Structure formats: structure tokens, C-alpha cells
Structure 1
Amino acid sequence: MRTLCLLSILPLALAACDRQPAEGEASQDAIPVEPDQGIGDGATPPSPAPPPSPAPSSSDAPGEPAQGIPAALQGRWGLTPADCTSTRGDAKGLLRVSPTTLTFYESVGRLGAVRARSADSIEAEFAFTGEGMTWSRAMTLKATGDTLTRIDRAGGEAPATYAYGKCAT
């Protein structure tokens, strides 16, 4: 009988060892926290929060993200006038420029490291995805009136230059 009692108490004793403290209940190994947020063992307080991000430069337009693609470059641009008016979804020369992306017929480039930027141009790295592939490309975009010039630099190849016309809408 004595053995039976001991065996029935054993699971209860093991369960008590594994018991987690209830909410608001201190555990036995809790470390007290000092008023300055130190841990009570003479350790230094946590590091201060990182400094805030730098303010946008004076070339950033109101409402435009800092270091994004300039507003003068944003919109729809076509290699030919038909790229701007196609209703069949076959505008292979259409380029849509948003504050952080370049959208081509079958690929999207996301803005990466910006090398140079002004109100009407940007030189930056873009990370592309399309047709199951990923790649990066250095590009320069420059707006002059209703023309957007795109200079595409791929690795050690000679730069390729493309001229787009601004789409009406």
C-alpha cells in the first residue's frame, strides 16, 4: 500500500516542478529590475535607442519618400505612342514609375541603393523580379520635358540607352 501511495504522489511532485508561474506571480529565479531599467546585478543599463533617421534632403518634394524616385520621373512612359494607348495588354514598351518601383511588361524593379538624386533624375540600383528570375541592375533615369531617358548598366556590358515619351494619362 505504501508503494502505491508513493507512486501516486510521484506524478504530482513532478508536475509541481514543471509548473510555470501564473500571470503576475514572480518566479523563483526572476531578476529584480532597478529603476534605471538595469537588472540589479551591477550591469550597465540597456543601450539607448538608435538615433532617428535623417530628415529628408531639400531635394525631396513634400509627400515624397526620402531617397525615393523623384516625382518628375513618376508616371507612365512609352517607347512608342502605341505603348501608352494599348488596350490589349501588349504594351511591351510601357514603363510605369512609382516612388519605389519600375514596372515593365513582365518585370518589376524595386529601388535599392541610390547613388545620385536630383529633382529630375536618379542613379540607383534596382532589384528585379520577373518570369521566375531575379537580378539587379544599375540604372539612371532622367526627365527632360516629356522625355524620359533610361540608361541601363548590366555588369561589364556597354550601357544601353532608351528614350520614352510621357503618356497622356
Structure 2
Amino acid sequence: MSRARMPVLACLATLALALSACDAAPEATAPDPAADAPAADVETPAPNSDASIPAAQPVTAIPAAMQGRWGMTEADCDPNEPANKGLMTIDGTTLTFYESVAEIGQAMLAGDNALRGTFDYEGEGMQWSRDLTLTLSGPDTLVLEEIGDDAPPGPRSYSKCN
């Protein structure tokens, strides 16, 4: 027998032993008292998931609860104020600011109060994309946080205009 075939035969013999061990009868174990108990009517969350966080769902429109006129100050909500630079108007697909407009791109909705997505901006002769999060913090407060190296720092809070 050649030396090249010996390691192959040794591997095959090891494999045969391993497979024969699979056919052996399982060892007897003590009965589990919990196995006879009736199952509880409790839904078990999937592994590595947090049951308190709703699954994100793709969306193509901004939720109705987030739509409307939102101001950073009371003066921003005054339609007669010509310099209401903190006004943000939201419709089904766009955020309109004092000098720019952002249109929804790819976005995900998590529950009824949080939207995260990429928005395509245009303003003052420029175009750019930015990730952002819109979060309703109660019926009259909306928090906008833009994400990225060139984004304005920190979240900005808006109040619903009457």
C-alpha cells in the first residue's frame, strides 16, 4: 500500500467510527418536570431582539402626525413674520425650510413616532443628501436630528404651529 493512501484510509476509518457513534442509543436522563407542565400563552421574542422596539418598516411618505407647520420659536409660526427662519413645513414627501427643501428618499418607520431616512436637499443653488431622524415627542413636539460629518450639531426641537 502506498504512503499517500494511508492518511486517506485513516480519515475514512475515523469517519466510520464517528458515524457509528451517531447510531448509538441516547443515554437515559432524568425526566424534566417542566416538560409535563402546560405551555404558557406567552409570545416569546425572537433571539437577539428587543420586544419593546417595534420593527422598522420601509416607507415612501412622511407620517401624517409629523406633517404640518413646525417652529423653533413662537415667531416662526407667525405667517406675517417675514424672517421666520426656524419654520419647517412638512407634507407627505418633503421638509421645507427657510432656504432649502428636502425630499424623502429611502426611509424606515419605527413605530408611530420615529422616521429615519435619507433626504435629498436642494437650496441656494446646491444639492446634497443627508441622513436624518424625525421623532415625535408628544403630539406637539418634533425633534429633527441630521446625521453625518457635515450635519448641524445636535438635535433641533420644533413645536407644532396652531
TM over 0.5: yes
Percentage identity across aligned positions?
Answer: 42
Q: Which runs of 5+ in 1 are unaligned?
A: 1-58, 61-65
TM-score normalised by the chain length of structure 2: 0.59
Closer/same/farther in 2, CA of residues 119 and 67 from structure 1, 3 Å limit: farther
Describe the SS at the equivalent of 2:75: helix
Whether the 8 Å CA contact 1:67–1:117 is kept in 2: the answer is no
Q: Which amino acid aligns with 2:131?
A: A
Q: Which runs of 5+ in 2 are unaligned?
A: 1-55
1:38-93 CA-to-partner distances (Å, cap 9, x unmatched) read xxxxxxxxxxxxxxxxxxxxx99xxxxx5311111110000001100141421100
Find out whether 1:107 has 2:100 as its counterpart. Answer: yes
Q: Which amino acid aligns with 1:153?
A: I
Q: Residue 134 of structure 2 corresponds to which residue in structure 1?
A: 141
Find out whether 1:127 has 2:120 as its counterpart. Answer: yes
Q: Residue 31 of structure 1 corresponds to which residue in structure 2?
A: none
1:3-28 CA-to-partner distances (Å, cap 9, x unmatched) read xxxxxxxxxxxxxxxxxxxxxxxxxx
TM-score normalised by the chain length of structure 1: 0.56
After superposition, the CA RMSD in angstroms is 2.2
Whether the 8 Å CA contact 2:60–2:93 is kept in 1: the answer is no
Return the structure number with greater relative CO, CA threshold 8 A, min gap 6. Answer: 2
Q: Residue 144 of structure 2 corresponds to which residue in structure 1?
A: 150
Describe the SS at the equivalent of 1:160: coil
**Counterparts of 2:158 and 2:94 in 1: how far apart (Å)?**
17
Number of residues of Structure 1 aligned to a counterpart in Structure 2:
105
